[in-house]
Structure 1
């Protein structure tokens, strides 16, 4: 097993290289990224050409260690880049976010052979892996019911998953299931399931309110064979792999995604407020509008700083990082709701039309309220820490 702290946390690149990278990404988001955004909205699809462009530019491997083929930016540096990418179309952000993060769940538990066969191809952008935890009939923790039984060197998988991002177009599902006959978190396993495995049925459920173009799936498995060699870690470590390896840093990344999208909404509102004239003067000169924009600016900065604090704590392998990730996510989501609502209000009726960019931003913002767990789940996690019940939550894995 790869050491967790070393394997998933990189030292980062020097300031000059990082500043150049920030400039490059900013220019891409404002230029080609906007053109891609228009194409995605028009076709309701993320074309393969976009994935290839992001890969060829190195944008899908920024956060991974250099010795695995990545750029080697630190997690806090990655947050700065995530902030910029999130000002673009939500499906662009989703691709960059997921591909730059899913390997974190796999690497600490992967054998050398699995690193060569799965982790490095993921980082190189040759393989797309979909995080596959959520189920239609229960929560997203120790109560999952998708099950496997083992016969020799093969698991046989049965059950359902839904709301699986990239579940249609992926190459593998990083799937969490229960050993048949077990209860609680100790019976969970993490498996890499081939997208084309026998007995796997995929239903495309991509018709969403926002984040248009990103594919989502409902999955059904009937005695689907999965080689034991494609299990990560040991039996019983599934929940640890799902929560610690992926969800904690991913929640921090989602929080920063909220910051970036809120900044985009604020930018649009400021431009419109300066341009829109009523009764002889720009509406930016009217106190009601100016106060909305002032509140937005303060709101964004508060969420950003909490998110950066959570990122630094995760980078330092702090035991407080999981709780802080939930704090950051729930704070940033509420902030984004307020900011986008005010930004749309500044636009008046014009903002309600699809010809207005703020309309897309407003729709995309709503998805953040349940990505990587609803705010109700985040509050439950934080409350446990506040009330001293953190050990109980780790044991039962509920509401994660």
Structure 2
């Protein structure tokens, strides 16, 4: 019997289908039960409590996607996408926690040595530490144009620069931060560093007040000659963007696309329930053709986006070179679908849907955030166009 090799990115790992179905049922029960109660608390307080983090850790929900040799559950990527679909019907901050903590190991593991793996990655997979992905800068994009820089003195880098829109940048234990060697340009000068949250010379500004995804913290960061051990560098000098974009971005975009599918399903559930229970002029709202057709359009829209997302997920799982373009197609399509579905779902509710007493109001706000996560629609179109045109345009 041939055995598959589990790669550093987790491809080749899976669990038996009966075990997976049991896990899927457990996740569904949690999302529909305790998850709904947590959603109400998060919206009321604007915060995700430490108790919720502890519960997600105790349930094993922060350790699902990683392979068993890192302490994860060993799910295949397609299996993980099935769970992300369900988690995404919960509060957006719950979805964000499980998405991020089940994903950052993918960026780190292919470039880590064994000491780094035990110090940084295994605790992160266990949910015992939080690593915040720290790429975006206030005056630049999220790629080769980064300007945060380091100068090396012996076994220490000294980091200077700014980052913003950093999810979990306030409460994390480490920033997985991308900078460039002082005086360098292009990707060849980039480095990936694990920077301790309490590093001297680091200033953290909490910027968590957002339209949606309430409870998830975000930060703007400033560094002034902040010391970082060279031992905390992942990969070699010049491999920073390979760490940031290589094995991480494609599966993360697919995961965000599936998050759009799950959130759209939640919006549709709410719209169907409201239409079935609401009576106008003596007739159920659902009996009116305009409403029925709206719900039918939503169902078709969701199914189409889900199918493309699963195609992209299968391509990445099978190391298909087309998976990069497919991930952008899935994210672009799913984000646009989510906008249409949530807008129609809110409209089905009529005026009452605009009130915060209705769950659809939160879903509508949370949906807008997906347009920015892992690249805007314009970025996705650029990736797709490059794959289609290749060198045809020079």
TM-score (normalised: structure 2): 0.97
How far apart in 2 are the matches of 1:233 and 1:91?
A: 31
Cα 1:187/1:238, change in 2 over 3 Å:
same
In the TM superposition, what is the alpha-carbon distance from 1:390 to its structure 2 partner? 10
Counterpart of 1:381 (choices 357, 363, 383) is 383
Distance 1:390 1:217, change over 3 A: farther
Counterpart of 1:210 in 2: which secondary structure? coil
The residue number in structure 2 matching 1:395 is none
Provide the residue aligned with 2:116 in structure 1. Answer: 114
Partners of 1:199 and 1:44 in 2: CA distance: 29
| Alignment partners' CA distance in 1, 2:209 and 2:372 | 16
Name stretches of at least 5 consecutive residues in structure 1 with no aligned partner. Answer: 393-400
Relative distance call for 1:106 and 1:4 in structure 2 (3 A) is farther
Residue 151 of structure 2 corresponds to which residue in structure 1? 149
Aligned partner of 2:371 in structure 1 is 369
Whether 2:249 is the aligned partner of 1:250: answer: no
Shift, 1:208, TM fit: 0.3
Aligned residue in 2 for 1:8: 10
Cα distance in 1 for residues equivalent to 2:370 and 2:122? 29
RMSD: 1.3
Partner residue in 2 for 1:73: 75
Where 1:158 maps in the other structure, the secondary structure is strand
**What's the counterpart of residue 240 of structure 1?**
242
Structure 1 runs (4+) greater than 3 angstroms displaced = 3-7, 389-392
Q: Indicate the SS of the match to 2:219.
A: strand
Q: What is the correspondence of 1:71-150 to structure 2 with a 5 Å cutoff?
A: 71-150=73-152
State the number of aligned residues: 390
Deviation at 1:245, TM superposition (A): 2.2
TM-score by length of 1: 0.96
Question: Do 1:174 and 1:191's aligned partners in 2 also have CA atoms closer than 8 Å?
Answer: yes
| Cα drift, residue 321 of structure 1 | 1.1
Q: Distance in 2 between matches of 1:112 and 1:351?
A: 52
In structure 2, how many angstroms separate the alpha carbons of the residues matched to 1:391 and 1:126? Answer: 48
The corresponding residue for 1:397 is none
Cα offset for 1:7?
Answer: 4.2
The within-5 A match list for 1:187-336 is 187-336=189-338
Change (3 A) 1:389 1:141: farther
Aligned to 2:34: 32
The verdict on how the C-alpha distance between 1:234 and 1:391 changes in structure 2, with shifts beyond 3 A counting, is: farther
Unaligned runs of 5+ in 2: none
Shift of 1:93: 0.2
SS in 2 for 1:239: helix
